[in-house]
């Protein structure tokens, strides 16, 4: 007997050879959140729990062929973008999303790895701001990414709200400004949309997480694919990441903890 297929979500991102972030984390998350996961690999990184040692951008023709393959065969409901690497890839993905028009698009503006390695060129940031972010249903920057997008520091609650409003002016329908890089006993994620601001709070866990941003954006995409509203998707995804981080482990020699998806 043929069983009904689960909802389908696509990740367009970079591969993490260490298995903790990127495409690998995205597909683990999709599986854990009960959606069928597809992938388009935009870049290949050489990395482990100690850091990133090399990045190779996949040729545009092959990225385009991957996109053709998945969109020609699968009823894709939600798309999540992660590490895109350079301006040409970012522009290609923006053009394809404009043409394909998925029901939901979650943009995680991956720029800098936890280790400090830069994962997005300056020219690519412009391509993201002008091409991809205006198409996003939800934009999910962490604090350093939000500061890079806006060109200013974010320190206080007033700064957060000002930044959230400014990020919305870039064109995304909603913004999840993540609070993991901030200080305090709680991690406060702030979600901004046309209805205003919603806070999602969790106790801060004293572990160095790896792949939390990838996992959160993928979990949001999965929940949207299953029919949740953006606010509900964000709450459910943040709860899931907190649980996965609480049960994280250190598989390698570095300090980074990998989430238990």
pLDDT digits (tens, 9 = 90+) for 29-73: 999 999 999 999 999 999 999 988 998 999 999 999 999 999 999
Residue appearing with tokens 């866990």: 205
Predicted pLDDT of residue 165: 93
State the pTM of this model: 0.95
Residue 256, pLDDT score? 87
| pLDDT at residue 174 greater than cutoff 90 | yes
Name which residue leads in pLDDT, 1 or 81. 81
The pLDDT assigned to 112 comes to 67
Q: What percent of the chain has pLDDT over 90?
A: 71
Query: In the chain, what are the domains?
Result: 8-258 (3.40.1190.20)
Give the per-residue pLDDT at 247. 92
d(CA 104, CA 155): 31
pLDDT averaged over every residue in the chain: 92
d(Cα 99, Cα 13) in Å, to the nearest integer?
19
pLDDT at 205: 84
pLDDT above 60 (res 128): yes
115 falls in which pLDDT band (50, 70, 90)?
low
Summarised one tens digit per residue, pLDDT across range 92-102 is: 999 999 999 99
Sheet holding 138-139, edge to edge: 51-57, 36-48, 8-16, 78-81, 104-107, 138-139, 175-177, 186-193, 196-203
Q: What is the mean pLDDT of residues 189-211?
A: 90
Q: pLDDT at position 114, please? A: 57
Q: Are 11 and 39 in contact (CB under 8 A)?
A: yes
Q: Please, which pLDDT band fits residue 250 given cuts at 50, 70 and 90?
A: very high
């Amino acid at each position: 007997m043929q069983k009904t297929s689960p909802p389908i979500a696509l990740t367009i991102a970079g591969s993490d050879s260490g298995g903790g972030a990127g495409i690998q984390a995205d597909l683990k998350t999709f599986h854990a959140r009960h959606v069928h996961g597809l992938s388009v690999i935009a870049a290949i990184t050489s990395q482990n729990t100690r850091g990133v040692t090399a990045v190779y951008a996949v040729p545009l023709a092959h990225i385009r062929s991957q996109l053709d393959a998945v969109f020609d065969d699968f009823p894709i409901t939600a798309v999540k973008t992660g590490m895109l690497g350079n301006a040409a890839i970012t522009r290609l993905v923006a053009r394809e999303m404009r043409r394909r028009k998925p029901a939901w698009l979650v943009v995680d503006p991956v720029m800098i790895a936890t280790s400090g390695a830069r994962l997005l060129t300056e020219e690519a940031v412009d391509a993201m701001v002008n091409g991809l972010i205006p198409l996003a249903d939800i934009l999910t920057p962490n604090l350093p990414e939000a500061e890079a997008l806006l060109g200013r520091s974010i320190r206080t609650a007033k700064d957060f709200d000002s930044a959230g409003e400014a990020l919305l002016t870039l064109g995304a329908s909603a913004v999840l400004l993540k609070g993991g890089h901030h200080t305090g006993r709680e991690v406060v994620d702030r979600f901004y949309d046309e209805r205003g601001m919603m806070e999602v709070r969790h106790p801060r866990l004293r572990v160095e997480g790896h792949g939390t941003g990838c996992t959160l954006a993928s979990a949001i995409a999965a929940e949207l694919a299953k029919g949740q509203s953006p606010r509900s998707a964000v709450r459910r995804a943040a709860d899931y990441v907190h649980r996965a981080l609480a049960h994280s482990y250190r598989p390698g020699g570095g300090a980074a903890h990998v989430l238990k998806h």
